[in-house]
Amino acid sequence: MSFNAERRWVNHYAGPETPVITISEQFSKFEGGKIELVKDNESGLAVLKINHPERRNALSGSMMVDLWNAVNTLEDWKAGKGIILHSVGETFCSGGDLNTVRQISNPDDGYKMATLMHNTLTRLHQLPLISVALIQGKALGGGAELATSCDFRLFTEKGEIGFVQGRMGVVTGWGGGTRLVQLLGQHRALELLLTSRQISASEAVVMGLANGITKSVELPEAVEEAKQWLQAKLKHAPEVVHALKQIVATARAVPYEESLQNERQVFAMLWGGDANKKALEQNIKHK
Ligand SMILES: CCC(=O)SCCNC(=O)CCNC(=O)[C@H](O)C(C)(C)COP(=O)(O)OP(=O)(O)OC[C@H]1O[C@@H](n2cnc3c(N)ncnc32)[C@H](O)[C@@H]1OP(=O)(O)O
């Protein structure tokens, strides 16, 4: 991600050769469930809801495309500061919809699914918005990978996470293996991937995979709590939030020197800008 001449965010993640638009046309035919996006310009918070309770919030092909479309929309949201990703019912997300999976069970289609989901989740991770996944039940397989594409993870007491792909005879296909190594380091990541064991909310906090446990156990209340938790971190002007996220997102994605170069550019974009001038006029003291 970087700025272009019009000071708009440009996401440089192109992904592999197969055009994602072509894959999305194929995958939208595997229907079931939906992903709902609601943006609130006043608060600067968006809510992304995974809604497929009858399949324990598994992602069908059409939901993968919905998510891709939602990320496209969020990339252009200038007033936005944060996103809460949550689902409905007792399970956070049971991974890929096995009804879709069974219809694309060959290496070519597997590569296409991985391409679509890598593109979507990498861009979700790199958005200039701060994202929180609220995990209120099991996050399994692709559901665990989805959770790693947010900046933060909050669990309810009933939240659990498990990289069960190995038990299904596969490996992480949505970029979650790479993000898990970034989050936990190679040894802990390998242990979770090799054992496929499911981690409770309290163990996830100790490991650094969860950033906290909500007081509320039930969903509408836990979503409100997650919103408040995130809002408390979004005090700065949107352009400052976007710039800070961009520094962190770039640092985790590119080599050190390149990240420093990016940081200088981001700094220069804000230096003498509206938020900076306003702060200087107010003669702020940090006592
Ligand atoms: C991309 C690669 C990956 O994601 S690999 C990981 C794939 N996911 C899985 O293997 C999860 C398999 N599901 C389970 O372990 C359980 O269903 C879990 C999620 C623990 C929920 O258990 P429980 O609450 O008791 O519900 P249940 O098993 O009775 O299921 C209710 C109905 O939902 C369905 N369901 C569940 N998971 C999926 C899935 N991933 N894809 C499609 N359908 C799924 C079940 O088959 C069941 O359907 P039905 O009511 O019997 O018609």
Each residue of 130-156: pLDDT tens digit? 999 999 999 999 999 999 999 999 999
Each residue of 62-81: pLDDT tens digit? 999 999 999 999 999 989 99
CA–CA separation, 241 and 266 (whole Å): 12
Chosen CATH of 20-232 out of 3.40.50.720, 3.40.50.300, 3.90.226.10, 3.20.20.10: 3.90.226.10
Q: How confident is the model at residue 25 (pLDDT cuts 50, 70, 90)?
A: confident
Each residue of 216-227: pLDDT tens digit? 999 999 999 999
Q: How far away, in angstroms, is 140 Cα from ligand 1 center?
A: 9
State yes or no: pLDDT of 9 exceeds 70: no
pLDDT of residue 1: 46
State yes or no: pLDDT of 13 exceeds 70: no
Residue nearest atom 6 of ligand 1, based on CA coordinates: 141
Q: Where are the domains of the chain?
A: 20-232, 238-282
pLDDT of residue 189: 98
Q: Give the rounded distance of the alpha carbon of 40 from its chain centre.
A: 18
Token representation of residue 153: 């993870």
CA distances in angstroms from 218 to 50, 89, 158, listed in the order given: 16, 9, 9
CB of 97 shorter than 6 A to ligand 1: yes
15 touches 111 (CB < 8 A): no
Q: How confident is the model at residue 12 (pLDDT cuts 50, 70, 90)?
A: very low
CA–CA separation, 89 and 194 (whole Å): 29
Number of separate helices (H) and strands (E) present in the chain: 12, 11
State yes or no: pLDDT of 267 exceeds 70: yes
CB of 44 shorter than 6 A to ligand 1: no
The whole-model pTM stands at: 0.93
